């Protein structure tokens, strides 16, 4: 994404015959949003007036209700339109703003010296992004920005706690960010679950046992090497999830992607070493790297991304030879007040969505292991990001997210030590759902542990505070709630997550030239995504459409192809969290994949 504008507004104004900025008094401002700063953030000082900020202006998506209707029809295995996904042009037309909204916003921006050459518009023109100094942003929004610091970390943000808009724009602008968004868009905390032998040079042979000692599971059919209870490899997942005997036949039509942020990128040498050890038939394969906003890919071994390596090694390794795409998106919200040069204060996840939605053929399956506590993301912003995920689903893309690594909030069961409090004046104990995993148009992946599988204690799960429960979840979730004691759980029953699960501990990856053991739902999501990619291969090899938005199929019939996980709980927020049980539960969702069963249940589109 490039913005053709000067860093100095004075230069911009001198070079164009555009009206000078109006004073604040020229507009009648109306308050659009006012928040209490999230816990942990401390206001330090006024933001530097010349700091450059990228403001994203969200215009109303004129026909999103129609898009949502299309999405559910093409994703419902019992609907006659199942699999008839929309094109990019069709989706863009449904979310494009009305001309009046475009014109009024353009006029408003022009009054501050900003012309078309200063804008970046999303593919559907529903987002307008501008690059202006803080001093101009404050006039445009009738607000004051400050530098904020999070706890004892070095994370800094430039944010405001309220902003206003001219009242004539009230119906023509849905939101503007970054203003009140304090999300840090963290990667799932895989590093919190490292095994003690993290840097020990352990030969893979140590973990390979005689087949005479194989673990026979309760179904009487699945046999898994017992070494998989010490370390998880591609072979373990192939055995456990029954993909090992399948030979992909439609690779030329298929694709799988991972998205990375926060200066993470896939190291090619680590991936080759991983393939040499666990997937030798893939040793000479390649993947497509895509940089968004100048995302890093310098291939320096000592800067390789742990999260990116994990995602690529298992998503690409398990789905090989499915063509693979790795995105690396630059930019992060934190601002370093000691550096005076302009920094990107954009929200990188929205940048990635803009990019992938602007292309005709995004990957058919995409796994992401990043997110944030839902309450740190303003609700209007969360809904717009979720709407972007819906657009991908309508186009036939399966979008999966890790459910989180802190149980129902902070992973702390001690009622006197937990940190789960609402971001408002009430300051009451509340479970902390994870976004974007809580988005009803995404498939959230929880975690399991050991073989036979049980729910892993850190698996994120629960109920959204923003999104209503979608109809595809009604039966499964209501069955769970019928047997749930109230009290600490009362009032937490909106959209439920996760939807599914996969192993989430002791994954053996290569990072910076050494083997290590890692865990988290960061591992679960790419593993499940790889199974989805193989299911797509089955469909595409029969000239059928890809799965697209998974959840309506999973909750309607696909659940019969999943391994139900019935043991475990996910403590947090001073409580034991939720229990795994028969059927759906807020730790492992509907269960973990059985590829052979799932392929027999694929819709007959």
- Residue 22 buriedness (CB in 10 A; 0-12 / 13-18 / 19+): middle
- The model's confidence at residue 213, banded by pLDDT at 50, 70 and 90, is low
C-alpha closest to that of 266 among 306, 318, 322, 214: 306
Domain extents for the chain? Answer: 9-61+96-182, 190-329+364-600
Residues with Cβ within 8 Å of residue 63, at least 6 apart in sequence: 93, 94, 95
pLDDT(3) > 90: no
233 — alpha (psi -120 to 50), left (phi > 0) or beta? beta
Can you give the three-state secondary structure of 63-104, one letter per residue? CHHHHHHHHHHHHCCCCCCCCCCCCHHHHHHHHCCCHHHHHH
The residue that leads in pLDDT, 190 or 551, is 551
Q: What pLDDT sits at residue 375?
A: 87
**How do beta strands 443-449 and 398-402 pair?**
parallel
Contact 534, 246 (CB under 8 A): yes
- The model's confidence at residue 484, banded by pLDDT at 50, 70 and 90, is confident
Q: What pLDDT sits at residue 188?
A: 58
Please tell me whether residue 302 adopts helix, strand or coil conformation. Answer: helix
CA-to-CA distance for 18 and 113, rounded, in angstroms? 6
Contact 446, 434 (CB under 8 A): no
Residues, the chain? 605
| Beta partners for residue 435, in sequence order | 372
485's enclosing H/E stretch is none
Torsion, Cα 450 200 320 264, to 10 degrees, reads 100
The residue that leads in pLDDT, 141 or 4, is 141
Q: What percent of the chain has pLDDT over 90?
A: 69
pLDDT(599) > 70: yes
Contact 134, 144 (CB under 8 A): no
Q: What is the largest CA-CA distance in the chain?
A: 82
- The model's confidence at residue 364, banded by pLDDT at 50, 70 and 90, is very high
pLDDT(18) > 60: no
pLDDT(340) > 60: no
Among the listed residues 307, 372, 499, 537, the single catalytic one is 307
Among the listed residues 68, 311, 351, 405, the single catalytic one is 311
Of the listed ranges 50-59, 97-106, 113-122, 150-159, the one predicted with least confidence: 150-159
- Residue 300 buriedness (CB in 10 A; 0-12 / 13-18 / 19+): exposed
Report CA torsion sign: 196, 279, 460, 180: positive
Can you give the three-state secondary structure of 394-447, one letter per residue? HCCCEEEEECCCCCCCCCCCCCCCCCCECCCCCCCECCCCEECCCCCCCEEEEE
pLDDT(218) > 50: yes
Q: For this structure, is 307 an active site residue?
A: yes
Q: What pLDDT sits at residue 4?
A: 32
Among the listed residues 227, 398, 517, 522, the single catalytic one is 522
Task: Dump pLDDT digits (tens) for 486-521.
Answer: 555 565 568 999 999 999 999 999 999 999 999 999
User: Cis (ω within 30 of 0) for the bond into 40?
Assistant: no
Please tell me whether residue 186 adopts helix, strand or coil conformation. Answer: strand
**Binding site, annotated residues for Ca(2+):** 564-565, 583, 585
CA-to-CA distance for 129 and 124, rounded, in angstroms? 13
Q: For this structure, is 522 an active site residue?
A: yes
Please tell me whether residue 239 adopts helix, strand or coil conformation. Answer: helix
Q: For this structure, is 311 an active site residue?
A: yes
CA-to-CA distance for 7 and 342, rounded, in angstroms? 8
Residues with Cβ within 8 Å of residue 42, at least 6 apart in sequence: 148, 149, 150, 151
Task: Dump pLDDT digits (tens) for 436-467.
Answer: 999 999 999 999 999 999 999 999 999 999 99
Q: What pLDDT sits at residue 17?
A: 34
* Domain 190-329+364-600 grouped into CATH 3.30.428.10: no
Residues with Cβ within 8 Å of residue 196, at least 6 apart in sequence: none
84 — alpha (psi -120 to 50), left (phi > 0) or beta? beta
**Binding site, annotated residues:** 564-565, 583, 585
């Amino acid at each position: 994404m490039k913005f053709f504008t000067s860093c100095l507004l004075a230069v911009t104004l001198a070079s164009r015959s555009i009206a000078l900025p109006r004073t604040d008094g020229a507009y009648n401002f109306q308050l659009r949003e006012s928040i209490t700063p999230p816990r942990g953030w401390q206001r330090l000082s006024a933001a530097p007036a010349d700091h450059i900020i990228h403001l994203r202006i969200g215009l109303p998506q004129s026909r999103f209700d129609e898009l949502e209707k299309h999405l559910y029809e093409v994703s419902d295995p019992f609907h006659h339109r199942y699999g008839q996904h929309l094109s990019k042009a069709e989706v863009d037309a449904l979310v494009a703003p009305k001309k009046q909204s475009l014109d009024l916003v353009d006029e408003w921006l022009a009054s501050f010296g900003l012309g078309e050459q200063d804008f970046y518009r999303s593919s559907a023109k529903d987002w307008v992004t501008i690059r202006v100094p803080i001093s101009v942003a404050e006039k445009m929004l009738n607000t004051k920005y400050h530098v904020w610091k999070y706890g004892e970390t070095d994370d800094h943000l430039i944010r405001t706690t309220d902003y206003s808009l001219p009242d004539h724009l009230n119906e023509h602008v849905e939101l503007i960010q970054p203003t009140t968004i304090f999300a840090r868009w963290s990667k799932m905390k895989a590093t919190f679950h490292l095994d003690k032998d993290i840097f020990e040079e352990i030969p893979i042979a140590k973990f390979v046992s005689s087949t005479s000692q194989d673990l026979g599971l309760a179904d009487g059919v699945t046999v898994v090497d017992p070494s998989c209870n010490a370390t998880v490899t591609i072979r373990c997942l192939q055995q456990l999830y029954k993909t090992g005997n399948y030979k992909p036949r439609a690779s030329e039509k298929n694709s799988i992607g991972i998205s990375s942020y926060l200066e993470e990128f896939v190291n090619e040498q680590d991936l080759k070493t991983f393939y040499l050890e666990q997937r030798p038939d893939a040793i000479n394969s390649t993947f497509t790297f895509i940089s968004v906003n100048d995302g890093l890919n310098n291939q320096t071994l000592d800067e390789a991304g742990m999260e990116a390596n994990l995602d690529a090694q298992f998503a690409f390794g398990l789905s090989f030879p499915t063509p693979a795409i790795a995105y690396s998106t630059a930019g992060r919200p934190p601002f370093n007040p000691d550096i005076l040069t302009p920094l990107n204060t954009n929200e990188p996840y929205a940048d990635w969505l803009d990019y992938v939605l602007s292309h005709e053929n995004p990957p058919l399956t995409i796994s992401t292991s990043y997110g944030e506590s839902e309450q740190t993301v303003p609700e209007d912003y969360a809904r717009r990001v979720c709407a972007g995920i819906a657009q991908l689903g309508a186009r036939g893309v399966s979008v999966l997210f890790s459910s989180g690594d802190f149980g129902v909030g902070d992973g702390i069961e001690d009622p006197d030590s937990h940190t789960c409090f609402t971001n408002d004046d009430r300051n009451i104990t509340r479970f902390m759902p994870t976004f974007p995993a809580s988005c009803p148009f995404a498939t959230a992946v929880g975690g399991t542990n050991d073989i036979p599988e049980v729910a892993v204690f850190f698996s994120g799960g629960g109920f959204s505070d923003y999104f209503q429960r979608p109809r595809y979840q009604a039966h499964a979730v209501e069955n769970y709630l019928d047997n749930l004691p109230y009290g600490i759980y009362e009032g937490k029953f909106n959209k439920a997550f996760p939807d599914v699960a996969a192993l989430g501990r002791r994954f053996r990856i290569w990072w910076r030239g050494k083997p290590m053991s890692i865990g988290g739902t960061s591992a679960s999501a790419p593993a499940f995504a790889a199974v989805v990619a193989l299911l797509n291969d089955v469909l595409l090899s029969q000239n059928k459409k890809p799965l697209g938005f998974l959840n309506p199929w999973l909750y309607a019939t696909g659940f019969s192809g999943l391994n139900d996980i019935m043991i475990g709980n996910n403590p947090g927020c001073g409580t034991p969290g939720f229990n795994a049980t028969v059927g759906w539960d807020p730790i492992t969702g509907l269960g973990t994949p059985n590829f052979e069963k799932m392929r027999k249940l694929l819709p007959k589109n």
